[in-house]
Structure formats: structure tokens, C-alpha cells
């Protein structure tokens, strides 16, 4: 059985952002790999944040294009709806790790779905939050 991985908003965002070709290539490859393996997980929060970041904040996409992409991601990946138990768990995670509420909600959704990893540049790389390891796929690793 393959390991489930939770995609944070920045992975989806970079897939549409050509201003950083390196990050875009990594994001597109991750999305393709997780799609092919059927091991990608995201939440309705991530889908909403993707829409906001690409349409409102950065104006990379039209609302219609972003909506189609959101619908495609919702079909391609397991999509976790945000419900009260996740909100409560996020509040507990926030208190335990001192992460922002929104990042805590990402961790709560990933944990709830049994994901082994969260793919994100917003949390501490390699740290384990509530049993889920964060992997920053955009971090350039240097040899020691």
C-alpha cells in the first residue's frame, strides 16, 4: 500500500506560477506522481486557499479557470471536508505546537486521513506534528 501525502496550498499554487520555474516543475511532478498513484490528499480549505491565492491575491488565473482546476483536483485527490471535529483538533494542535490556526487545520486534516506526510513549505521541514511529518519539497538540500 502506498503512503498517503497531504498537499498544502503552496504545492497547487506553484503548479500555476511560472515566475519560479524550479518550484513549478517540482509542484507539477508531485501532482502528477500523487495523481498516478492515487495517494494525494487535500482539504476543502486547501481548495479554497488555492482559488483565493491564484484569483484574488496574485491574479494568476481567471475565476473560471481556477474553478475548473479546483473541480479537477477535487476529482483527482481525496478531498477532506472541514467539519467541527477537525476544527476542534486544529485548536488543540495550535495550542500544542504554537502553529497558526490555518496551518493547524492542515495538520488536523492530514492526521485525520492517516497521511504520513504533509508536502508544504509553510511548516518546519522534517518536523512531526500530530504524527505527520512535514516535507518541504521546495527546499534545496545542501550536502554537508
Domain of residue 69, residue span: 5-80+115-135
∠ CA 96-11-107, rounded to 5° = 20
For residue 47, tell me if it sits in a domain.
Answer: yes
Looking only at Cα atoms, what is the longest distance across the chain?
46
Name residue 80's beta-bridge partners. 43
Q: How far apart are CA 20 and CA 11, in angstroms?
A: 12
For residue 90, tell me if it sits in a domain.
Answer: no
For residue 88, tell me if it sits in a domain.
Answer: no
pTM of the model: 0.94
For residue 56, tell me if it sits in a domain.
Answer: yes
For residue 103, tell me if it sits in a domain.
Answer: no
pLDDT in tens, 111-133: 999 999 999 999 999 999 999 99
Q: Give the count of domains, the chain.
A: 1
Contact 106, 45 (CB under 8 A): yes
**What does the pLDDT read at residue 2?**
81
Q: How far apart are CA 39 and CA 27, in angstroms?
A: 15
Nine-digit cell at 38?
A: 492515487
DSSP 123: S
Closest CA to 83 of 114, 105, 51, 107: 105
Contact 92, 130 (CB under 8 A): no
**What does the pLDDT read at residue 144?**
56
**What does the pLDDT read at residue 140?**
77
For residue 89, tell me if it sits in a domain.
Answer: no
pLDDT in tens, 70-100: 999 999 999 999 999 999 999 999 999 999 9
Name residue 129's beta-bridge partners. 132
pLDDT in tens, 38-55: 999 999 999 999 999 999
Amino acid at each position: 500500500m502506498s503512503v498517503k501525502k497531504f498537499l498544502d496550498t503552496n504545492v497547487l499554487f506553484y503548479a500555476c506560477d511560472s515566475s519560479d520555474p524550479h518550484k513549478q516543475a517540482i509542484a507539477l511532478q508531485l501532482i502528477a506522481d500523487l495523481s498516478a498513484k492515487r495517494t494525494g490528499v487535500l482539504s476543502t480549505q486547501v481548495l479554497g486557499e488555492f482559488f483565493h491565492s491564484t484569483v484574488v491575491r496574485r491574479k494568476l488565473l481567471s475565476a473560471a479557470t481556477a474553478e475548473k482546476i479546483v473541480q479537477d483536483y477535487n476529482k483527482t485527490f481525496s478531498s477532506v471536508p472541514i467539519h467541527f471535529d477537525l476544527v476542534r483538533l486544529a485548536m488543540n494542535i495550535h495550542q500544542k505546537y504554537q502553529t497558526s490556526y490555518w496551518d493547524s487545520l492542515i495538520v488536523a486534516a492530514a492526521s485525520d486521513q492517516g497521511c504520513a506526510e504533509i508536502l508544504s513549505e509553510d511548516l518546519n521541514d522534517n518536523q512531526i506534528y500530530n504524527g505527520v511529518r512535514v516535507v518541504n519539497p521546495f527546499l534545496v538540500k545542501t550536502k554537508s
